[in-house]
Amino acid sequence: MGIVTAKELKNRTGEVLRRVGSGETVTVTVRGVRVAHFVPVSKRARAEPSREARMAMRARIRSIGGKYRGVGTVEAFLAEKLQEIRRER
C-alpha cells in the first residue's frame, strides 16, 4: 500500500492512477492525516459499465432519436447502416 500527499497527488495524478490501475491501494494524506484511499476496482467491474452508466447511455440514445437495441458487432451495425442507405436511394 502506497501513501501520497495531496500535493503529490495533484502533481502526479496520472502516475498514482496507473499504480492503482495495476492493483496497488494508495492512501492520500493531508498534513499527515489520512483522508482517502484509492482502491483498484475488480476486473469484472472494469469490464461492465455500472447500471447508472447503462441507463445514461440509453437515455442519451433516446434523446437523439435512436432506439437502444443492446450491444452488437461492428459488422452488424455497418450492415444495418448500409441497408438503410440503400433504402433511401
Residue-range domain boundaries for the chain: 2-43, 49-88
Q: How is residue 71 written as a grid cell?
A: 450491444
Model pLDDT for residues 54-64, shown as the tens digit of each residue: 888 888 877 87
Write out 72-86 in H/E/C secondary structure.
Answer: CCHHHHHHHHHHHHH
Q: Domain 2-43 adopts which CATH fold?
A: YefM-like fold (3.40.1620)
Query: Is 73 a residue whose pLDDT tops 80?
Result: no
Tell me whether strands 2-5 and 26-30 are parallel, antiparallel or unpaired. Answer: parallel
Query: Is 69 a residue whose pLDDT tops 70?
Result: no
Model pLDDT for residues 5-45, shown as the tens digit of each residue: 999 999 999 999 999 999 999 999 999 999 999 998 876 66
Q: How far is CA 19 from CA 2, 5, 52, in A?
A: 9, 15, 26
